[in-house]
């Protein structure tokens, strides 16, 4: 089976989707209105979908209080520090600054303007094909 999408309950899916399109290179695959305002976003490769929505039946998680290790969206970056600076200028905040893992991966943990954790990662050895 192939993973089709990962869904995240968020406070403002419309504004968040716009920000991801503008600043993270995502494209809108599908959107809907009431009651959930679901937005399916494709990453720049077109092979990964994330759904942002707000379902009235459940609460929005307190992402600001959540450790980014519990949940984060990871984006490949050729220049993590430069992307960090660009995204911070656009409203993101730094949760954990640049570190290099024992495997040589470079990573930075941010929070988008809605506090959802975003990881910027430059793999020393790619794990996926890049389109």
User: Hey, what CATH topology would domain 70-131 get?
Assistant: 2,3-Dihydroxybiphenyl 1,2-Dioxygenase; domain 1 (3.10.180)
Tell which wins on pLDDT, 123 or 45.
Answer: 123
Give the model confidence (pLDDT) of 39-87 as tens digits. Answer: 999 999 898 999 999 999 999 999 999 999 999 999 999 999 999 999 9
Q: Is the pTM of this model over 0.85?
A: yes
Distances (CA, A) of 22 to 49, 54, 86, 118: 16, 20, 12, 15
Question: For residue 131, is pLDDT > 80?
Answer: no
User: Hey, what CATH topology would domain 1-56 get?
Assistant: 3.30.720
Q: For residues 90 and 19, give the distance between their C-alpha atoms in angstroms, rounded to a whole number.
A: 9
- In the chain, where the domains are located: 1-56, 70-131
SS3 of 67, please?
A: coil
Distances (CA, A) of 90 to 23, 24, 52, 78: 8, 11, 19, 19
Residue 61, both tokens: 């998680």
- Work out the pLDDT band at 128, boundaries 50, 70, 90: confident
- Mean pLDDT taken over the chain: 96
Q: For residues 108 and 9, give the distance between their C-alpha atoms in angstroms, rounded to a whole number.
A: 23
Average pLDDT over residues 103-114: 98
């Amino acid at each position: 089976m192939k993973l089709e999408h990962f869904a995240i309950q968020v406070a403002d899916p419309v504004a968040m989707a716009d920000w991801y399109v503008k600043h993270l290179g995502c494209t809108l695959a599908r959107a809907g209105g009431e009651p959930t305002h679901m937005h399916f976003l494709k990453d720049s490769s077109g092979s990964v979908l994330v759904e942002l929505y707000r379902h009235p039946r459940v609460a929005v998680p307190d992402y600001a209080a959540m450790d980014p290790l519990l949940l984060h969206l990871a984006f490949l970056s050729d220049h993590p520090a430069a992307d960090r600076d660009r995204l911070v200028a656009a409203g993101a905040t730094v949760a954990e600054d640049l570190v290099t893992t024992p495997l040589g991966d470079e990573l930075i943990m941010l929070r988008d303007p809605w506090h959802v954790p975003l990881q910027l990662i430059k793999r020393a050895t790619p794990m996926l094909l890049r389109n």
